[in-house]
Amino acid sequence: MSNLKYRLALIVGLALVAIWALLPREVKVRQRGADGAFTDTLMRRVPLRKGLDLSGGMHLALDVDESKGAVADKGAAIDRALKVVRTRIEGMGVSETVIQKAGNDRILIDIPGVSDRERAIKIAQEQAFLQFQITDKTNALEKALPRLDAIARERRIGGDAAVGTTVASAPSAGLNGLLTSGADSAKGAAGKADSAQADSASLPGANGGVISKMILAGGAPGQFMFERGNEPLLKEFFARPEVAAALPPAKVVRFGSDSTVVQNKTYRFLYMLDANPIITGDALTDAKPSTSSMDGTVVEFTLSNEGGRKFQRETAKHVHDYMAIVLDNVVMGSPPVINSAIGTRGQITMGQGRDLQAAQDLSLVLKAGALPVPLKVAEVRNIGPSMGQDSISRARTAGIIAIVLIVVIMLGYYRFSGLLAVGGLLLYVLYTLAVLAGFDAVLTLPGLAGFILSIGIAVDANVLIFERIREELDRGKTVRTAIDEGFHHAQTAIIDTSVSTILTAAVLYQYGTGPVKGFAVTLIAGIVASMFTAIFVVKTFYLLWLNRSRGAQSLSI
């Protein structure tokens, strides 16, 4: 009798814990308001996390990109990259994001409810390596042009036709004049070019090779222009190792983010910069988007004290020089001229056609810091919210119908004992859900399917026991002994089958990803709960019944 009390106490206790674990509770949800600020709101909901396939959202896998050179210590690099990516994604203001490392060189990102695929990828993937570099004043590119032309000739780069039209329609000498008078989109440096930069107006060697015909002088030292159509060719050309070798040491060529229109032709910018940056994004402590009447959308940044001192020292040395702000090797906007030493604050012009959202994202990325390694997208999955809703409602229907069918089968075949089994089944569902909530497991669609299936499989243990009890009754044993023997004999088979299934599920968990992991967790939770309810709970029900009806001669089974 006391034994029975303990059994009941354990079952009721576990049920209470399970109910408590499943009670709706306050969950902090971070949302971004219309003004772009984040607010934390409390929401009441059942503490079961829905996977992306149910909630809708985006799953992203990023790999270390080794296409531009091998990465020495991938593991350490990905750890640092993980921190950066986490800060950035969390800054997007979406609740319940999951950011984790997978294997040695991959980052997995789950963002529920996000539909803007391109934006999320950009925020996660952008390397955000910020450098401030002084533009070249030594005519280094002009001097290098004959060598570059020679390389182009050797490698047979650039068709004559394309070059011919460029030179014919926009002779380089005239271009500078055009710039100074009109073209206000090329404001920045180009607009200020009129006074000092006359000497760099035309490039030497107009009769030279392909490259020198393509590149025209810009408005500032170290700034050049080329027709937009030539962009792929030039980018490919300057990426060549022999070209880099032909350039003077300590100088680099970078492309610009903006373009300008002169005489109905679109031109892009090219810059020759000092390779050594005066300061990098490491020194940045804060960045926020802003708009200025002069430059449109900008990102205002603040440097650390130490960084500020260095910046001041360096800019003092370079008064009247032009400073290029280079993000991921692209010169942002037009390099401004340094009028006097700059302290800890400054701004980055976003350039044309970039809205406040872009500035917001850039500040986010800059604040989080640069990625230590370039990352490339290995996998993107986007699931619309309607699909998740549909999945849940259909899975619910299927689940209810499955349960009804199983209950009908059990009651029809086993009568009273079937009722005990159904009682056990209810506890089974409760326990399984509680275990899932307790382990903070993610409920995925295959997981839901596995759960519905596991209800069917869970009655197997009951069936085994009941059939065994029937056999024992057939052998003429009393009800009490038959129940005892039935449970005892069925137990080994139940344990053996459960353990082998748990082993399979564990393997699945180890080697599966996302939804399949969810499936494995559901399966394991289900089997443990089913073992407990079939062997322990239903037996307790029997003991309770035996106690009530002392000396029962027959059992409805």
Partner 1 sequence: MLRILHNTKYDFIKPWRIAIGATVAFILAGFVFLGVHEARYGSALNRSIEFTGGTLIQVQFRQPPHVDEIRSTVGQAGFPNAEIQEFGNTREFTIRASGAGQGANVAVEQTAHNVQAALEQKFGAQNVTIVRSEIIGARVGDELTRNAVIAILISLVVTLIYLAIRFEWRFGAAAVIATAHDLLSTLAFLAIMRLEVSLTVVAALLTVIGYSLNDTIIIFDRVREDLKKNRSDSLYTVLNKAINETLPRSVLTHFTVAAATFSLLVFGPEVIRPFSWIMLFGVVTGTFSSIYIAGPVLLWIEHRWPRTSTAKGGGTRVAATEVARPSRSASTAAR
Residues 435-474 close enough to bind partner 1 by CB under 8 A: 445-446, 449-450, 452-453, 455-457, 459-460, 463-464, 467, 470-471
Q: Which helix (H) or strand (E) holds 86?
A: helix 74-91
Binding mask 285-314 for partner 1 (x = CB under 8 A): ------------------------------
> In this structure, which amino acid lies at residue 444?
T
Is residue 358 a contact residue for partner 1 (CB under 8 A)? no
Is residue 475 a contact residue for partner 1 (CB under 8 A)? no
Structure tokens belonging to residue 442: 């993610």
Q: Which of 82, 27, 149 lies closest to 440 in space, CA to CA?
A: 27
Instruction: State which residue, 77 or 557, has the beta carbon closest to partner 1.
Output: 557
Is residue 387 a contact residue for partner 1 (CB under 8 A)? yes
Q: Which stretch binds partner 1 (CB under 8 A): 141-149, 237-245, 354-362, 501-509?
A: 501-509
Residue 257 is classified by DSSP as E
Site for partner 1 (CB under 8 A): which residue of 77, 92, 331, 523?
523
Is residue 511 a contact residue for partner 1 (CB under 8 A)? yes
Contact present, 483 and 555 (Cβ < 8 Å): yes
- Strand-pair partners of 377: 62
Q: Which of 463, 424, 433 lies closest to 451 in space, CA to CA?
A: 433
551 phi-psi bin (left φ>0, alpha ψ -120 to 50, beta other): left
Smallest distance, partner 1 to C-beta of residue 122, A: 11
Smallest distance, partner 1 to C-beta of residue 352, A: 21
Site for partner 1 (CB under 8 A): which residue of 520, 525, 534, 538?
520
Contacts with partner 1 by CB under 8 A: the residue count is 79
Is residue 510 a contact residue for partner 1 (CB under 8 A)? yes
Is residue 515 a contact residue for partner 1 (CB under 8 A)? yes
Site for partner 1 (CB under 8 A): which residue of 45, 488, 547, 552?
488
Smallest distance, partner 1 to C-beta of residue 453, A: 5
Strand extents, DSSP E, 360-456:
375-383, 442-443
Site for partner 1 (CB under 8 A): which residue of 95, 290, 478, 501?
501
Inter-CA distances, 320 with 79, 189, 507, Å: 42, 11, 66
Is residue 419 a contact residue for partner 1 (CB under 8 A)? no
Smallest distance, partner 1 to C-beta of residue 239, A: 16
Is residue 330 a contact residue for partner 1 (CB under 8 A)? no
Inter-CA distances, 429 with 36, 313, 425, 452, 502, Å: 42, 69, 6, 10, 18
Smallest distance, partner 1 to C-beta of residue 48, A: 18
Helices 479-511 & 514-531 angle (0-180, nearest 10): 160
Site for partner 1 (CB under 8 A): which residue of 48, 380, 419, 544?
380
Instruction: State which residue, 370 or 410, has the beta carbon closest to partner 1.
Output: 410
Buried (b) or exposed (e) across 101-115, using 16+ Cβ within 10 A?
A: eeeebbbbbbbbebe
Smallest distance, partner 1 to C-beta of residue 342, A: 35
- Strand-pair partners of 273: 135, 252
